[in-house]
């Protein structure tokens, strides 16, 4: 087998590995090289999603990735509690590694770890050690890096997987318990009952800053386990944490270069390419969409797929930006129009809408009628603040001026 793969993916996280898996699965003669600076692929993460976020024809394909699945889940707010009949799923780093391992074993997926990258182009990767790898197509699947053209809030979380000596009693996931104290922004606790004696308890915040006080949140998780779940004795067997971008606005003129410039750059996928749900931060549905699109483009174009992929993925990025317009507006309402300790009211109202609308919202397939329904009625934020933050362009102008002022320019 040639050392030159058909495709190189830089970043062995969720999007990079799902794309490799799907492309290799659909294109039996294809080879992929994946590069990462870490010591193992897939990291140590949990990824959750509604099963309806994934197109029906891909359910059988994604099934090996799913570690746990529930037929329904609950949400809790001070003035609303609800059970939604939407199947909910969780995969993790172990299941993701297992999905790609057969391709590693047969040599079609070559993994290069502990490799730092110096530069990327559309068809080559230059490593820090001076080595150069070439392929028909290069994908940049590295994580999100803040930049001056994307304006953000943040979703921050710390999670503990606990094991109890006796059944903990929680049957279905609680994906939002916002009855907890609201501190510095929208806060909720997220609980996934893996087994009768194992559960993930995660404390999540939607705040303006990216800083994360782990010790303080650890204590709040312990308080929640004791006071809300009624569990006195347990062992923490795993811990995870993260800071996810929540997009308020994007300066598209600067974020997306003209096509002739974009053709000289690698294709960006995953969170680093902006492919995540702007409101929820969920990245798996967009990663699946990208993986499926890439695999079909390569299959349809044949061995000389480079130009077709470059052209279509450019349009895919533009489409995603347009699809997220309404979601970015909702984020500006949440982060700029609502007072921090009252942000939960926005979500409390949202979860009173129809189950079908909620399902479509999570997979980012809301209709014009859905958008009107979300915005209709008495708003949970001040009208004047909502109108002030309605225009994305005006928001960007003010945000840039604020940045310049803070820098003393």
* 97 Cβ neighbours under 8 A, 6+ residues apart: 17, 40, 41, 42
Within a 10 A sphere around the Cβ of 21, how many other Cβ atoms? 23
Where in the chain are all domains bearing CATH 3.30.70? 152-246
Per-residue confidence (pLDDT) for residue 362, from 0 to 100: 96
- CA 273 – CA 317 distance, rounded (Å): 8
Per-residue confidence (pLDDT) for residue 312, from 0 to 100: 93
For 48-63, what is each residue's pLDDT tens digit?
999 999 999 999 999 9
Where in the chain are all domains bearing CATH 3.50.50.60? 1-70+86-151+247-409
Homologous superfamily of 1-70+86-151+247-409: FAD/NAD(P)-binding domain (3.50.50.60)
Mean of the per-residue pLDDT values for the chain? 94
CATH number for domain 152-246, candidates 1.10.10, 2.40.160, 3.30.70, 3.40.50: 3.30.70
For 305-329, what is each residue's pLDDT tens digit?
999 999 999 999 999 999 999 999 9
Per-residue confidence (pLDDT) for residue 380, from 0 to 100: 81
- The DSSP annotation for 175-240 comes to EEETTS---SSEEEEEEEE-SSSEEEEEEEEEESS----HHHHHHHHHHHHHHTS-----EEEEEE
**Could you report the average pLDDT of every consecutive run of 10 residues in the chain (409 residues)?**
81 98 97 97 96 97 98 98 98 98 98 96 94 96 91 96 98 98 94 98 94 92 98 96 95 78 83 95 96 97 92 92 96 94 94 97 95 86 90 95 80
Q: Report the phi/psi class of residue 322: left, alpha or beta, with left for phi > 0 and alpha for psi in -120 to 50.
A: alpha
């Amino acid at each position: 087998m040639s050392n030159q793969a058909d495709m190189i993916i830089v970043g062995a996280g969720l999007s990079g590995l799902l794309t490799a898996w799907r492309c290799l699965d659909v294109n039996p003669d294809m080879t992929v090289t994946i590069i990462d600076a870490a010591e193992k692929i897939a990291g140590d993460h949990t990824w959750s999603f509604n099963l309806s976020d994934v197109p029906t024809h891909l359910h059988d394909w994604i099934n090996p990735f799913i570690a746990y699945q529930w037929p329904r889940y609950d949400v809790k707010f001070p003035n609303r509690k609800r059970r939604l009949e939407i199947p909910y799923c969780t995969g993790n780093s172990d299941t993701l590694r297992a999905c790609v391992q057969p391709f590693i074993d047969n040599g079609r997926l070559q993994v290069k770890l502990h490799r730092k990258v110096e530069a990327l182009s559309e068809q080559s990767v230059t490593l820090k050690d001076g080595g150069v790898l070439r392929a028909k197509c290069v994908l940049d699947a590295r994580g999100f890096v803040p930049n001056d053209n994307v304006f953000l809030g943040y979703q921050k979380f710390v999670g503990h997987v606990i094991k109890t000596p006796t059944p903990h009693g929680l049957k279905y996931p609680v994906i939002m318990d916002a009855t907890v104290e609201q501190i510095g922004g929208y806060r909720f606790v997220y609980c996934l009952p893996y087994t009768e004696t194992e559960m993930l308890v995660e404390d999540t915040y939607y705040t303006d800053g990216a800083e994360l006080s782990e010790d303080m949140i650890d204590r709040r998780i312990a308080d929640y386990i004791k006071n809300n779940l009624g569990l006195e004795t347990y062992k923490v067997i795993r811990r995870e944490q993260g800071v996810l971008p929540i997009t308020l606005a994007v300066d598209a003129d600067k974020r997306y270069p003209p096509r002739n410039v974009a053709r000289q750059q690698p294709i960006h996928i995953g969170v680093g390419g902006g492919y995540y749900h702007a409101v929820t931060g969920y990245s798996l549905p967009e990663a699946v969409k990208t993986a499926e699109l890439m695999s079909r483009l390569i299959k349809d174009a044949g061995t000389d797929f480079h130009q077709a992929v470059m052209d279509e993925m450019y349009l895919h990025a533009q489409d995603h930006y347009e699809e997220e317009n309404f979601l970015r507006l909702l984020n500006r309402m949440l982060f700029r129009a609502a007072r921090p300790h009252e942000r939960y009211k926005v979500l409390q109202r949202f979860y009173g809408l129809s189950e079908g609308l909620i399902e479509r919202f999570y997979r980012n397939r809301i209709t014009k009628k859905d958008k009107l329904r979300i915005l209709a009625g008495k708003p949970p934020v001040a009208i004047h603040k909502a109108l002030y933050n309605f225009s994305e362009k005006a928001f960007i102008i003010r945000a840039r001026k604020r940045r310049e002022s803070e820098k003393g320019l």
